[in-house]
Amino acid sequence: MKTAIITGAARGIGLATTDLLLATGWQVAMIDRDSEALAAAVSSRTNVHGIDCDVSEESSVNSMVDETLRHFGRIDGLVNNAGVADFGPIAETDFVRWKTVMETNLDGVFLCTQAATPALKESKGAIVNIASISGLRASTLRVAYGTSKAAVIQLTLQQAAELGEFGIRANTVCPGPVRTKLAMAVHTQDIIDAYHDAIPLNRYGSENEIGEVIAFLLSEKASYVTGQTIAADGGFEATGVGLP
Ligand code: NAD
* Residue 120 pLDDT level (bands cut at 50, 70, 90): very high
Compute the average pLDDT of residues 111-129. 98
Cα of 81 vs centre of ligand 1, distance in Å, is 6
Q: What's the pLDDT score for residue 113? A: 98
From 25, 50, 68, select the one nearest 219 (Cα to Cα): 25
In this structure, CATH architecture of domain 3-178+207-231: 3-Layer(aba) Sandwich (3.40)
* Residue 134 pLDDT level (bands cut at 50, 70, 90): very high
pLDDT in tens, 25-41: 999 999 999 999 999 99
Q: What's the pLDDT score for residue 208? A: 98
Q: What's the pLDDT score for residue 64? A: 99
What are the residue boundaries of the structural domains of the chain, listed by start? Answer: 3-178+207-231
CB-based contact 20:65 (threshold 8 Å): no
Compute the average pLDDT of residues 134-151. 96
From 148, 205, 144, 198, select the one nearest 172 (Cα to Cα): 148
Ligand 1 in reach of 146 Cβ (< 6 A): no
CB-based contact 165:231 (threshold 8 Å): no
Atom number, ligand 1, closest to the C-alpha of residue 210? 30
Compute the average pLDDT of residues 147-175. 98
CB-based contact 173:232 (threshold 8 Å): yes
Global pTM reads 0.98
Percent of the chain with pLDDT over 70: 100
Q: What's the pLDDT score for residue 175? A: 98
Q: What's the pLDDT score for residue 197? A: 95
Work out the mean pLDDT of the chain and round it to a whole number. 98
Distance CA 72, CA 70 (A): 6
* Complex ipTM > 0.95: yes
pLDDT in tens, 166-190: 999 999 999 999 999 999 999 999 9
Neighbour order of strands in the sheet with 3-7: 48-52, 27-32, 3-7, 77-80, 126-130, 169-175, 229-232
Q: What's the pLDDT score for residue 156? A: 99
Q: How many CA atoms lie within 13 A of 107 on its CB side?
A: 16
Best probe residue, ligand 1, of 5, 7, 13, 141 (max atoms within 8 Å of C-beta): 13
Q: What residues have CB less than 8 Å from 159, skipping those under 6 apart? A: 113, 127, 129, 168, 170
Ligand 1 in reach of 183 Cβ (< 6 A): yes
Cα 175 to the chain's mean position, in Å? 9
